């Protein structure tokens, strides 16, 4: 029985994370999404003040490289770090939020 409950919780965790990732992708790449707004703002900033855009883009690239290589993970090697756990919990919370919004649209 305990094994069945653990499997159900794992399924719920996976579903919430999947919904969270899907919701983020929808908001980021959808019409008038975050990516479009960010690229528009970056393009405007680079046209107006290109000297300020260079360190911002360089810092963003550095953060992405560190994140991909595991440099931002404060945990011990081989163990899950705090940043990983926070990311999963944030995605689960966003999955709950997206599910709530979807249910409220269906009710109305």
What is the value of pTM for the model shown? 0.57
Q: What span, in angstroms and rounded, lies between the C-alpha atoms of 22 and 91?
A: 10
Which two tokens mark 103? 């249910």
What total of structural domains would you count in the chain? 1
Domain housing 24: 2-107
The pLDDT tens digits for 29-86 are 777 777 777 777 666 655 555 665 667 677 777 767 766 776 555 555 556 666 777 8
Q: What percent of the chain has pLDDT over 70?
A: 68
Q: Which residue has the tokens 């963003």?
A: 60
Q: Give the model confidence (pLDDT) of 79-103 as tens digits.
A: 666 677 788 888 889 999 988 988 8
Nearest residue to 69 (alpha-carbon basis) of 81, 86, 53 = 81
23 CB-near residues (< 8 Å, 6+ apart): 94, 95, 97, 98
């Amino acid at each position: 029985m305990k094994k069945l409950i653990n499997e159900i919780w794992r399924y719920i965790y996976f579903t919430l994370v999947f919904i969270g990732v899907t919701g983020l992708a929808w908001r980021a790449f959808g019409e008038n999404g975050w990516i479009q707004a960010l690229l528009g703002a970056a393009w405007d900033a680079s046209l107006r003040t290109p000297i300020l855009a260079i360190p911002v883009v360089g810092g963003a690239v550095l953060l992405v490289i560190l994140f991909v290589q595991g440099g931002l993970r404060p945990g011990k090697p081989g163990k899950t770090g705090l940043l990983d756990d926070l990311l999963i919990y944030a995605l689960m919370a966003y999955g709950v939020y997206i599910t709530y919004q979807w249910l409220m649209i269906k009710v109305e």
